[in-house]
Structure 1
Amino acid sequence: ARGKLAVAPCFLPSFFAGPYWIIDYSEEEGYAIISGGAPTKRSAGGCSTGTGVNDSGFWIFTRQQKRDQALLDKARAIAAKKGFDLSMLNDVDQSECTEDSFQQAAFLM
C-alpha cells in the first residue's frame, strides 16, 4: 500500500478507528484506489477485505462527477494487477447529483 490511515468519528476513541489503505493514487489524473484494510479473503477473482464496519470495503474515487471510463479502466487494471477482486466494486452514477441535493442529504443525516 502507498499509505495507511485510520478513520473514526471524532467522538470515538482512536482504537475504534477502521484501517484504510491507499493502494494507488494520482493527484494529476484525479483518482485514488482505497481498500478498507488488508485483503484477507481469497476468491477466483482475487483478494478482498472482510465485511462489516471495519476492515472492509474497496473503492475507486475520482475527482470528476461525470464518469471517465478510460480512467476507471486504468484504475481497475492497477487494482487487478495488485491482486484485488474487482467483483467487489459497484458502479455509482453521480452525473445527476447537484450541490443542492448533496446539501439536503447532509442536512437529513
Structure 2
Amino acid sequence: MKPVAATTGVLQTGRATAVRPLRFALLLTATTLLAVGLRIVFWWMQSRSGAVQPGDSTEYVQGALHLLQGSYATGDKWLRPPLYPLFLAATFAVVGVDLSRAMLVQA
C-alpha cells in the first residue's frame, strides 16, 4: 500500500484515512442515541407530571378531536394550519386520545 501525504506533511497509510468514516459514523450514532434518549426522558417526566405545554396546544387538540368526530368546524374561525391537527387526529386514531403517547410519537 502506497503512503499518502496528509495536509500536515506526515505520511499516512490508506488504512488510517479509512478510520475517519468509521469515527464519524460512531459519533453520529452516539449523538443520535443521546438525542433520542433525552427526548424519551423529557417525555417520561412530562407525562408523569401531567403538565401540558402552555400556548395554543389546546386549540390543536380540539381541532384533532373535531376531525375524529367527522367535522373540522369548531364554531369560531380556525386560524391555525390544518396539518398538525390532522397529524394529531391520525395519532389519536391509532394510539387513543392520550397526549403523552402523541408526544412520544412526535418526539
TM category (shorter chain) comes to under 0.3
Between Structure 1 and Structure 2, which shows a larger proportion of helix residues?
A: 2
Between Structure 1 and Structure 2, which shows a larger proportion of strand residues?
A: 1
TM-score of the superposed pair, with normalisation by structure 2: 0.24
TM-score of the superposed pair, with normalisation by structure 1: 0.24
